[in-house]
Every structure is written in structure tokens, then in C-alpha cells.
Amino acid sequence: MDDRFSPGRWRLYAITDERIARGRSHLQVAEAVLRGGADVLQLRDKEAGGGKLYRVALQLRKLTREAKIPLIVNDRLDIALAVDADGVHVGPEDLPVSVARRILGPGKILGVSTETVEEALLAEKEGADYLGVGPVFEARGTKGDAGEPVGLERIAQIRRCCRLPIVAIGGINAENAREVREAGADAAAVISAIVAADDIEQAARRLKRILSGAEEGR
Amino acid sequence: MDDRFSPGRWRLYAITDERIARGRSHLQVAEAVLRGGADVLQLRDKEAGGGKLYRVALQLRKLTREAKIPLIVNDRLDIALAVDADGVHVGPEDLPVSVARRILGPGKILGVSTETVEEALLAEKEGADYLGVGPVFEARGTKGDAGEPVGLERIAQIRRCCRLPIVAIGGINAENAREVREAGADAAAVISAIVAADDIEQAARRLKRILSGAEEGR
């Protein structure tokens, strides 16, 4: 597998979310974040039906394949299978991890949202390839259903007991991205700090530099 | 394949829909419609996440397997695969027919919503096993997105040019079920006339008798 498809090598994990994209489409957001250096792209749209999701996923599949960047689909395994995405991300409201792994097969990337050490260990046991850990900080309006922030210490705890790569998520921006990496996360998943930015590409590029250790951050 | 799994043999196609079930769960609705003689059960829930859908689908899978009745999942192919449902039904807002067939494989039942002769012929060409044709009559509050009624004549038109079994849908009840069969439909898909009834089992049993030709209907 190409290094770029190995979650431990990711730094900037970009998630598209049309609801906060200020009128820009999934495709427009994706084009800008890839120009800005995102290492992986996740399509997330809890409101779209299967038909729209499929059409958008096809567009993003073409784009990410040209950029040689992995495409992850949130929740909908059928959409991931339909466009031959590189993987799926499941949260607590989605299909169980073991079931997702069974349908997806061994060759695809499976990401799992976890809040605690116990959940992280269980996800590892059930076949996760990486852990989405969070919400680290208070998120800004992207997930109404997100729980209380778990804080940076939780990243460090999970780092100590799990071998899986950690993608931290929740309220991460240029101000705090460096701390997230220092706490032990391999990557940061970013939605609003990129998708809602005036200049998506520039916001992504700055975050990528901070997460890669090439810039200190504010 | 067992006759009961052949769409041409179906008469009463019951769809669960919790929103109009007056507090009864998918499982409670399903138990009652199966006691009432439904030939096939579709799980439809556009609002539930993958996790809830999976749990409900597992319950209905157990129930339908015991009753030797096929289980169809609306839209979500991943849920259908996860519980080994007998098939999937896709509409215009869902995955394209050819894509659904590719993911589902040849051994599963694929139903496709169609409104016109052209759509019916296309669905047949792309691998549908049966056609959902409608809305035949004005539906009562189950599908806000349903179009103008196509009428009984459309059933007859599609019957004349397509070989696939027809499941008529939309506003069908004990008063008009006989006409639907006389127009050429093999089965009637019923939601509100069963799910919202005071006595679901009794409503299902009556419709089954009418659709089977054992009772005249009102």
C-alpha cells in the first residue's frame, strides 16, 4: 500500500461538510483542500440521499484518484463500495465496527470514532485501521450531536495503550493544532476551520504546515 | 428459489414506517403484518442512522426468516448486506439501478420505483427484479415527496410492455385494492392503510384476501 494510504502517515484529514461551506459544494471544498495539501479526504453528508451521495462521491473519487489521496466515506458503506472509495468511517450512530469490517473486506481502510480508552481498545480488536478521537475541543457548530470535549489528555491516554494511528477531531484549528500533535495524535481531522474559511486552500495549507511541524502555529 | 421469494407471487407487500405507526415500533408493525398474511416486508426509515437501521433490520431479519417471508430494505444496500436481507428497493433519490445491482450481486432481489413506461423499460434493462409503480392514487401523508398520481391506466400500460412483476404503490386500501389487481399489478405495496390502522393484523388480513381474489372488497 502506498504510504499515502497508510493512516499513520496522515497529518491533515479534511472533511467536507456542505452545511457550513457557505454555498460552496463538496467538490469545490475538496478541490481547495487538496490544493492546500490535505492527506486524506472524507465525504460527510448526513442529509443527502443515496443518489446525491453517489454522484458527489463519484466526483470526489475522480479528484482524489488524480491527486493520489485516499477517499473515505462517512457511514455509508454502500456508497463507499459503489465508488470504490479507499475506506469508511463509522461513528456510534452508524453500523457496528465488526459488521462494517465484514462488509468492507480486509483491503479497505476502516476508521472508528472513539471517546474513551475502552472504546479505542474495542475498535482495535474489532478491526479498525485508525481511531477518530474526540471531540478534543469545543466544536463550532458542525456536530450538534458531539459530546463533551475529551481534551488533549485523552489523546495521550489512548496513545499510550493503543497501537492504531489517532486522528484527533473536534474544534481543531491553527491555534491548537500543534498541541494536538504533541499530545500524540498522528493527524487532525478538520471541518469548520477549513470548510468555513474565506480561503479554504490557504487555511488547509497553513494547517498542514503546522501539523507537519514546518510551522509553529499561533 | 422458493416461490415466496419470487416477486410475481406476491400479493400483499407491506412497508413499515414508524412515523405513521402511532407509537408502534418497526418490529411491532412487522409482527402484526406477518400475522395478517403479508407476502413480503420492506423496512423503510429515511430518518434513522445506520446503527439504528442495522438493529431494526436484524430484528426483522429474524422475524421474516422464521416466517419464511422475504425482507427488502429500502435504499440502504449496506444495511441489506449487513443483515443478509433478500433484497433492496431503490427509488429516484437512491443509488442508480445498475450500481445497486453491481453491489448487490445477482442472487438478491432488486426493486425499482418507476412512474413511466420509459422508466420501467430502463429498470428492466438495468437489472430490476420487480417494478414499484406509482403513486397510483393520492397517498395519505406517507410520502411528502411523492409525485402526482399516475392512475390505474399507467399500471395497465406498463403491464403491456414489461415482463417484470408490478408492485403498485400509493394510496392503496381495501376500497381500491381490487382495481389495482384488475389493472395488471401482481401486488400492492401498502403503508398507511396497514401501519396506521387501529388493528394492523386485521387490516393486513383483509387486504391480503382482496388482493388474492378471495374477497371482493368494498
Q: Distance (Å) from the C-alpha of residue B177 to the closest C-alpha of chain A?
A: 30
Catalytic residue among A11, A76, A101, A113: A113
When CB atoms are compared, the residue of A52, A92, A103 closest to B78 is A103
What pLDDT does B142 receive?
A: 53
Q: A116 falls in which pLDDT band (50, 70, 90)?
A: very high
Q: Which segments in chain B show pLDDT lower than 70?
A: 1-2, 140-146, 218
ipTM of the predicted assembly exceeds 0.95: no
Residue B217 included in any domain: no
Residues B39 and B8: their CA atoms lie apart, in Å, by 11
This prediction's pTM: 0.92
Write out pLDDT tens, residues A46-60.
889 999 999 999 999
Write out pLDDT tens, residues A152-201.
999 999 999 999 999 999 999 999 999 999 999 999 999 999 999 999 99
Output the nine-digit C-alpha cell for A140: 463550532
Chain B residues closer than 8 Å to A78 by CB: 76-78, 81, 95, 103
- B25 assigned to active site: no
Q: Identify the CATH number of the domain in which residue B170 sits.
A: 3.20.20.70
Chain B residues closer than 8 Å to A81 by CB: 77-78, 103
What pLDDT does B214 receive?
A: 81
Range of the domain at A143: 3-211
- A44 assigned to active site: yes
Q: A43 falls in which pLDDT band (50, 70, 90)?
A: very high
Write out pLDDT tens, residues B45-66.
988 999 999 999 999 999 999 9
Write out pLDDT tens, residues A79-111.
999 999 999 999 999 999 999 999 999 999 999
What pLDDT does B147 receive?
A: 78
Residue A25 included in any domain: yes
- A143 assigned to active site: yes
Q: Is the Cβ pair B92, A51 closer than 8 Å?
A: yes
What pLDDT does B119 receive?
A: 97
Q: Is the Cβ pair A95, B54 closer than 8 Å?
A: yes
Mean pLDDT of chain A: 93
Secondary structure letter of residue A212 according to DSSP: T
Residue A217 included in any domain: no
What pLDDT does A146 receive?
A: 65
SS3 labels along chain B: CCHHHCHHHCCEEEEECHHHCCCCCHHHHHHHHHHCCCCEEEECCCCCCHHHHHHHHHHHHHHHHHHCCCEEEECCHHHHHHHCCCEEEECCCCCCHHHHHHHHCCCCEEEEEECCHHHHHHHHHCCCCEEEECCCCCCCCCCCCCCCCCCHHHHHHHHHHCCCCEEEECCCCCCCHHHHHHCCCCEEEECHHHHCCCCHHHHHHHHHHHHCCCCCCC
Residue A166 included in any domain: yes
What pLDDT does A147 receive?
A: 78
What three-state secondary structure class fits A18? helix
Contacts with B112 (C-beta within 8 Å, 6 or more apart), sequence order: B89, B90, B91, B97, B123, B126, B128, B130, B131, B132
Residue B216 included in any domain: no
Provide the domain count of chain B.
Answer: 1
- Mean pLDDT confidence for A11-32: 94
Is-contact B89 B128, C-beta < 8 A?
Answer: no
Cβ of residue B94 closer than 8 Å to a chain A Cβ: yes
Residue B73: name the closest of A68, A78, A46 by CA: A78
What pLDDT does A142 receive?
A: 53
